[in-house]
Amino acid sequence: MGKIKTIGVLTSGGDAPGMNAAIRAVTRAGIYNGFNIKGIYRGYEGLIHDEVKPFTTEDVSGIISRGGTILKTARSKDFMTMEGMQKAYETCKKEEIDALVIIGGNGSLTGAWKFGVEFDFTCIGLPGTIDNDLYGTDATIGYDTTMNTIMECVDRIRDTANSHERIFFVEVMGRDAGFLAQNCAIACGAEAAIVPEETTDVDQLAEFMNRGIRKSKKSCIVIVSESPKCGALYYADRVRHEFPEFDVRVSILGHLQRGGSPTAGDRVFASCMGYGAIEAIKQGQRNVMIGYRHDDVELVPFSEAIRTDKRFDKRLIAVLNELSI
């Protein structure tokens, strides 16, 4: 592939606070370094259908504080097919796009990896997901803001839990990862967290109820990772049947976790990731995600970033258990 002159930037999958800061950073760092920047709307779906616009510094002015993504986002089934990827490649040729910066999570980076390999195309990924489940980076764009949003919601729920002496099961996002639930439980002073990383042969609800919580406290907060089989509703129903003396309520926070103005941490992190993407392109890198580990920026191959075994620090479970007595 020849010299890179034009870079396309898109957001894909679920939106995350800080995506706009990343778009701004890619655009301005790219222009500063002599590249043309083109914004691609609606993720891979927009790339397939040529929803592309040249970006200037003015296009990203004032967006660093905004949640969501100005480029919109979508999940594209068509891009998962060879025909869809071929159409996306034709758009790149038509728009003279020589490299792509993809801001998204596991599925988005998997698509970028396949596209880059199939068409020998330069793709750079930025970790944009509230779940913090990407391998090779200690944090992801949107994770810090989402934790703060959850914390604010749970603080309010705690007030009514105490007033009515209730057990509240609060369900948070995270897919198959419990990073949000476990860390937010500690931040909120919750009595327990039920996360998918705990071994499946352990009854987490029974452990929580048998720790003496029901003897020492009349109100409790339990943070639960979302799950189609064992979410907050499942555990609440179990308590109602097994411990009918307790007043139980459920609060599913849902999509409010995704919205809102990004925190300072997410704005700085996303800005550094966007800057890092342009630096990677200048260095001739391809098929890598810009990660952040041990206080330093790292280039993580897509094949590593999309692994599903990101380490969960189980010491946090002990921290929560001891502090919740």
Question: Cβ(141)–Cβ(96) under 8 Å?
Answer: no
3-state secondary structure of 279: helix
Comparing C-alpha atoms, which of 191, 251, 252 is closest to residue 219? Answer: 191
State the angle between helix axes of 179-188 and 143-164 in degrees (0 to 180), rounded to the nearest 10.
50
To the query of whether residue 309 is one of the catalytic residues in this protein, the response is: no
Query: Which residue in the block uniquely carries the two structure tokens 């007043």?
Result: 247
What are φ and ψ of residue 177, in 5° steps?
Answer: -120, 140
Tokens of 163: 């007033």
How far apart are the C-alpha atoms of 268 and 277, rounded to whole Å? 14
Query: Which residue in the block uniquely carries the two structure tokens 């949003």?
Result: 149
What are φ and ψ of residue 193, in 5° steps?
Answer: -130, 135
Comparing C-alpha atoms, which of 281, 277, 303, 307 is closest to residue 292? Answer: 277
In this structure, how many other beta carbons lie within 10 angstroms of the beta carbon of residue 231? 17
Residue type at position 268 = V
* Active-site residue, selected from the candidate residues 50, 59, 78, 131: 131
3-state secondary structure of 194: strand
Which positions are annotated as active-site residues?
131
